[in-house]
């Protein structure tokens, strides 16, 4: 069975669709929680099911180092290994290699393992092979990700390599049941995004990642770059804005026509005592919440909001932070999945513009104070 | 409404019963997970419900220091504060004060807070008042707990104080809807246990704790001391063996007529990578499990065993130990609750002796190698 994508409804340039993948169906637009090392931190896979997670991201870099693709393959692939069972996507490891200080040459990247300092080599072909052994539903090609701000020349070098690597990845592919997504780079230069999107689209992939964004640039710059890339990406293929979890960016990117997102922010913020709520971000560490019997978000129906008061969360943040993180991770993921559910429903109902305006009232201000927290920090 | 206890079935000296408490019914014999600081570490209260937890223990010492009884009372009491909602028991704090180095005088104990070094005083009356403000279903009196081995003279001094404090606690009680349990001390000297049980029973409580056991003595000594105490405790009241979680001790204590247990062992062992299984303890850290697609316990139906392979747990123990702890805590609690469910069913069916023999085949050997891990280490 080949993976496929069907658009079920549109509202302006936004689309609601269905990804048909090896391990199941994924309604889009979709948010992927991040199971970096095989598990969303502190959130068992059974809880992901209860939350309605339909697509889960894991990290090629980390899993290739520990426990290794052989182990994962022997246990039946990543969906079985993680206990999630449903559709999974792996990023290529490129982002980690860049952010952790790898050396790029024309053929691939070399880096030292964060676990044992061992010298490791990733090539476009090697990454496809790893991801095929992981048996994931969606594999991302190895790309060259550039931190922003960056010189145009540096962005262009990265684009040339990324395009060449994308060709090699496409040629190396063996497993036709696994979707392979190309990745568009180009920084926040709109013309470069257009140019690179054309190059990657020309190679032909099952879907397209838009990478290297939300890494330090402003929100308008992010969205302009996304819009530029989308102009040159085929409308009948899924488009995935990588590493973006901010509700403001998600809402506007969905409006532009993006179909998928991932970010560690919901669970990372949770572990730092920050809740995502219908009123915006809520820091639960301040002592005033110790006396509060309100739920974390009175408008949320997740198991955390159904059971515990803010007072318990504030208390646990002081005396047992991991337990507080477990409670808030459930809530934040529930919030994020609810956001995407609302966006899908609005597209189907033709009411997306109104929903985006309402979300702006809550989430646009966060860009003034908290921009860095949306960085793709897996 | 006054708390009550009904015996529904007996098998020899063992009993299956029902505790009727302010926040609900508790089938006995019962195992209480330990929510030391208000949450069972890494296990949200919603998960406790799914596991069928009917009675939850929290720690007076820790909660009185942080966040304080005022905060808990203002939020509606401990069942509301913790999000558990169901029946709760608080220990008296006496064990913590002793184990953390408090000073005992005739009137009470003085210690320094583990949080800020502040000098704190606990008296029998003060503890009852704290527990009434917590609004728990079962309050334990303040006792003097003696580490074993101990001189008879030291045990006798502790008994005299514990009896006097029990009288003062009974006199200080205001809330008749809250069950108040006395505590029997006496170390592993059977005659002292008999004598002290008589003293505490004479004061008259809603139920009786058997304290100061599983603190270093052998399993036969524990059970002999339990049997001696039970001889002099009223048969129509619930009897609670404090701080004991070892399946071997639980099975034999149930056979003797004990109705309730608590221990941090299931969740503490989980955080150290040890699973309780139908085949005994299983250490999941060894690298041979990295390649295993078996569930943690093939005979278990908990969400961890239904979803993840041993390979994932072994991997996470290396790279994300808290997530592994979350998975194994669910399993170990499920195992422990299942053990008590099996014991209740066997009492009702009149087949307890056979079940205890079967459990002995798995669990008796653990006393040769792992005795200390059953210590009441909350």
- Digit-coded pLDDT (tens) for A10-25: 999 999 999 999 999 9
Q: Which residues contact A338 (CB under 8 A, 6 or more apart)?
A: A300
Record the tokens describing residue A361, joined without a space: 């009232």
- Selected residue of B38, B39, B330 to mutate for chain A interface (largest A Cβ count, 10 A): B39
Mean pLDDT within B34-40:
98
Cα–Cα distance list, B220 to A55, B72, B278, B280, B284 (Å): 53, 40, 23, 20, 29
DSSP secondary structure of B28-72: ESEEE-EETTSS-TT--HHHHHHHT---EEEEHHHHHHTT-HHHH
Tell me what pLDDT residue B114 has.
86
Tell me what pLDDT residue B216 has.
86
Task: Provide the b/e sequence for A111-138 (b: ≥16 CB within 10 Å).
Answer: beeeeeeeebebbbbbbbbbbbbbbbbb
Task: Give the up-direction half-sphere exposure of residue A6: CA atoms within 13 A in the CB hemisphere.
Answer: 8
Mean pLDDT within A273-297:
97
Mean pLDDT within B50-78:
97
Q: Which residues contact B264 (CB under 8 A, 6 or more apart)?
A: B34, B36, B245, B376, B377, B378
Nearest to A71 among B38, B66, B311 (CB): B311
Domains plus CATH for chain A? 4-256 (3.20.20.105), 269-369 (no CATH)
Confidence bin at B373 (pLDDT 50/70/90): very low
Tell me what pLDDT residue A114 has.
86
Mean pLDDT within B347-358:
98
Confidence bin at B367 (pLDDT 50/70/90): low
Distance CA B333, CA B329 (A): 6
Ranges A60-69, A328-337, A358-367: which has the least confidence: A358-367
Tell me what pLDDT residue B93 has.
86
Distance CA A60, CA A43 (A): 20
Record the tokens describing residue A35, joined without a space: 């199971």
Tell me what pLDDT residue B97 has.
82
If you count DSSP H runs as helices and E runs as strands, how many of each does chain B have, helices first? 16, 17
Angle between the N-to-C axes of helices B352-363 and B321-349, in degrees from 0 to 180, rounded to the nearest 10 = 150
Which of B66, B134, B59, B52 lies closest to B97 in space, CA to CA? B59
Distance CA B130, CA B127 (A): 5
Q: Which of residues 19-38 of B touch A (CB under 8 A)?
A: 36-38
Distance CA B20, CA B6 (A): 8
Confidence bin at A374 (pLDDT 50/70/90): very low
Three-state secondary-structure class, residue B347: helix
- Digit-coded pLDDT (tens) for A235-266: 999 999 999 999 999 999 999 999 999 999 99
Record the tokens describing residue A269, joined without a space: 């913020």
Q: Is A41 on the interface with B (CB under 8 A)?
A: yes
Look at strands B30-32 and B34-35 and give their pairing.
unpaired
Confidence bin at B340 (pLDDT 50/70/90): very high
Residues in chain B: 378
Task: Count residue pairs from A and B with Cβ separation < 8 A.
Answer: 148
Which of B327, B326, B316 lies closest to A38 in space, CA to CA? B316
Mean pLDDT within A75-79:
98
Residue B30 has pLDDT above 80, yes or no: yes
Looking at every residue in chain A, the average pLDDT score rounds to 95
Q: Which of residues 264-303 of A touch B (CB under 8 A)?
A: 290-293, 303
Residue A370 has pLDDT above 60, yes or no: no
- Digit-coded pLDDT (tens) for B251-307: 999 999 999 999 999 999 999 999 999 999 999 999 999 999 999 999 999 999 999
Which of A226, A43, A32 lies closest to A136 in space, CA to CA? A32
Tell me what pLDDT residue B370 has.
44
Nearest to A307 among B46, B75, B316 (CB): B46
Tell me what pLDDT residue A371 has.
42
> How far is the alpha carbon of A93 from chain B, nearest alpha carbon, in Å?
17
SS3 content of chain B, % helix, strand, coil (to 5): 45, 20, 35
**Chain B residue numbers touching A303 (CB-CB < 8 A):** 44, 46
* Percentage of residues in chain B having pLDDT higher than 70: 97
Mean pLDDT within B155-168:
97
Tell me what pLDDT residue B375 has.
42
Residue B371 has pLDDT above 80, yes or no: no
Ranges A101-105, A250-254, B66-70: which has the least confidence: A101-105
Instruction: Report CA A348 to chain centroid distance, whole Å.
Output: 23
Which of B42, B86, B85 lies closest to B330 in space, CA to CA? B42
- Please, what is the Cα angle at A296 between A293 and A301, to 5 degrees? 110
Tell me what pLDDT residue A332 has.
98
Mean pLDDT within B75-103:
92
* Percentage of residues in chain A having pLDDT higher than 70: 97
**β-sheet bridge partners, residue A14:** A11
Mean pLDDT within B165-179:
98
**Chain A residue numbers touching B318 (CB-CB < 8 A):** 66
Q: Which of residues 297-326 of B touch A (CB under 8 A)?
A: 303-304, 306-309, 311-312, 314-316, 318-320, 322-323, 326
CB distance A265 to A374 below 8 Å: yes
Tell me what pLDDT residue A89 has.
98
Look at strands B280-283 and B30-32 and give their pairing.
unpaired
Mean pLDDT within B50-57:
98
Distance CA A181, CA A355 (A): 29
CB distance A79 to A85 below 8 Å: yes
A104, with CB counted inside 10 A (0-12, 13-18, 19+), is middle
Record the tokens describing residue B92, joined without a space: 């008296």
Positions of A marked active-site: 91, 262
Mean pLDDT within B66-85:
98
A267, with CB counted inside 10 A (0-12, 13-18, 19+), is buried
Mean pLDDT within B220-241:
98
- Digit-coded pLDDT (tens) for A131-183: 999 999 999 999 999 888 999 999 999 999 999 999 999 999 999 999 999 99
State yes or no: ipTM above 0.90: yes
Residue B103 has pLDDT above 70, yes or no: yes
């Amino acid at each position: 069975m080949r993976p496929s994508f069907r658009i079920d409804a549109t509202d302006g340039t936004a689309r609601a669709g269905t990804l048909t993948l090896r391990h199941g169906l994924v309604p889009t637009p979709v948010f992927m929680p991040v199971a970096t090392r095989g598990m969303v931190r502190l959130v068992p896979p059974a809880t992901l099911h209860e939350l309605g997670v339909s697509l889960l991201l894991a990290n090629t870099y980390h899993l290739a180092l520990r426990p290794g693709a052989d182990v994962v393959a022997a246990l039946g692939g990543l969906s079985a290994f993680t206990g999630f069972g449903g559709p999974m996507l792996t990023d290529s490891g490129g982002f980690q290699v860049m952010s952790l200080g790898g050396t790029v040459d024309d053929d691939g990247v070399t880096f030292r393992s964060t676990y044992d300092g061992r010298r490791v080599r990733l090539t476009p072909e090697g990454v496809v092979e790893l991801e095929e052994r992981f048996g994931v539903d969606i594999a991302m090609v190895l790309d060259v990700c550039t931190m922003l701000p960056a010189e145009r020349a540096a962005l262009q070098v990265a684009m040339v390599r990324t395009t060449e690597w994308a060709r090699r990845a496409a040629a190396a592919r063996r497993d036709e049941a696994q979707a392979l997504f190309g990745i568009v780079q180009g920084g926040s230069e709109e013309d470069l995004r257009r140019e690179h999107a054309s190059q990657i689209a020309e190679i032909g992939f099952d879907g397209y990642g838009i990478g290297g964004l939300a890494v330090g640039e402003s929100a308008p710059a992010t969205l302009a770059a996304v819009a530029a890339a989308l102009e040159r990406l085929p409308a009948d293929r899924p488009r995935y804005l990588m590493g973006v979890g901010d509700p403001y960016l998600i809402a506007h990117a969905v409006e532009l026509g993006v179909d998928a997102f991932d970010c560690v922010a919901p669970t990372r913020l949770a572990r730092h005592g920050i809740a995502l709520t219908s009123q915006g971000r809520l820091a639960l560490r301040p002592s005033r919440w110790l006396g509060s019997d309100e739920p974390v978000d009175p408008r949320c129906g997740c198991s955390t909001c159904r059971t515990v008061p803010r007072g318990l969360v504030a208390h646990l943040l002081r005396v047992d932070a991991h337990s507080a993180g477990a409670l808030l991770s459930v809530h934040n993921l529930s919030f994020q999945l609810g956001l995407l559910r609302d966006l899908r429903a609005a597209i189907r109902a033709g009411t997306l513009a109104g929903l985006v305006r309402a979300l702006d009232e809550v989430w646009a201000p966060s860009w003034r104070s908290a921009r860095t927290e949306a960085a793709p920090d897996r």
